[in-house]
Chains A and B, each alone.
Chain A
């Protein structure tokens, strides 16, 4: 084993990764706070309420789901963790979101990368989205018991 090559590749790779993470995490979370303050996010999230409801999700689920599509699972999970700490997401929310997110995240970047080397974007993206929606819907119907739902949180989506 080439120890010197291993060490240098791992070290530079790590630094590169830490830089990439910082360049996404800081602007992202600061933008989210600013957008949150201005009320834009709430309005945008509300658009998804009727859909989220069909998947037994509370309205707070939309932001992490959107972030995970744009920036990837790690970032979506970061936003999810913050929402849990702020007590905005229930345990059943987490379970349902996890099923959707492990299958469907960072779809924009992934699809573009595979298209760049010659793949068919419509088939790749379409297959992934359809499978994620179907599997999440089945999971929410079959595995999430009614009594598990946090009605206080779901009630917030009932307003209009």
Chain B
């Protein structure tokens, strides 16, 4: 039991260091993008496409925040937009399938996954799920 705790602590520390080295620089980089307004500019640009997934134009902010930053950020945007059950369910499904793409790309790379195919798979699955839910809900 004591041996196991010691071994676990050592493994946890090594894992923790590995994760910090990935997550900290990415976190700071994304914050910087947010402060320079680049993320807002992107939101304006993609706005017309939102009709395909049955969401109002301003919901692109939640989608992009979720894709680029994380689900927590997306939740804040969604709560302030006062969306209906249908819109939240579509957005929640889309964001569940694809979110935190920048940070999680670092994790994918760490486990030696292929970045472009895996990220494309997530985003395509996410958008198709949105289109299909828009049709059936």
Contacts and interface: CB of A to CB of B under 8 A. Distances in A.
A1 B99 CA distance: 26
Contact of A110 (B18, B27, B96, B108): B96
A95 B88 CA distance: 32
Of B4, B19, B107, chain A has the most CB atoms within 10 Å of the CB of B107
A63 interface: no
Contacts of B72: 113
Contacts, number: 158
Contacts of B68: none
B93 to A, nearest CB: 5
Contacts of A13: 27, 31
A32 B12 CA distance: 10
B135 to A, nearest CB: 13
Of A5, A17, A128, chain B has the most CB atoms within 10 Å of the CB of A128
Contact of A131 (B32, B95, B99, B125): B125
Nearest to B11: A29
Contacts of B28: 10, 14
B63 to A, nearest CB: 13
B110 interface: yes
A115 B75 CA distance: 11
A63 to B, nearest CB: 13
Chain A interface, >50% SS class: helix
B79 A117 contact: yes
Contacts of A103: 97, 121-122, 125
Interface stretch (A33-41, A48-56, A146-154): A33-41
Contacts of A36: 4
Interface residues of A, number: 54
B116 interface: no
Contacts of B9: 26, 29-30
Interface in B45-87: 71-72, 75, 78-79, 83-85
Of B1, B27, B83, B89, chain A has the most CB atoms within 10 Å of the CB of B89
B16 A135 contact: no
B19 A78 contact: yes
24 contacts: A10-B32, A21-B20, A22-B16, A25-B16, A26-B13, A29-B12, A33-B11, A34-B4, A34-B8, A73-B107, A74-B23, A74-B107, A82-B11, A102-B121, A103-B97, A103-B121, A110-B95, A110-B96, A113-B71, A113-B72, A114-B91, A117-B75, A118-B83, A127-B93
Given A25-B12, A26-B9, A34-B8, 15 more contacts: A6-B35, A9-B31, A22-B16, A26-B13, A73-B107, A81-B18, A84-B111, A102-B122, A114-B96, A117-B79, A119-B91, A119-B92, A120-B89, A123-B89, A128-B93
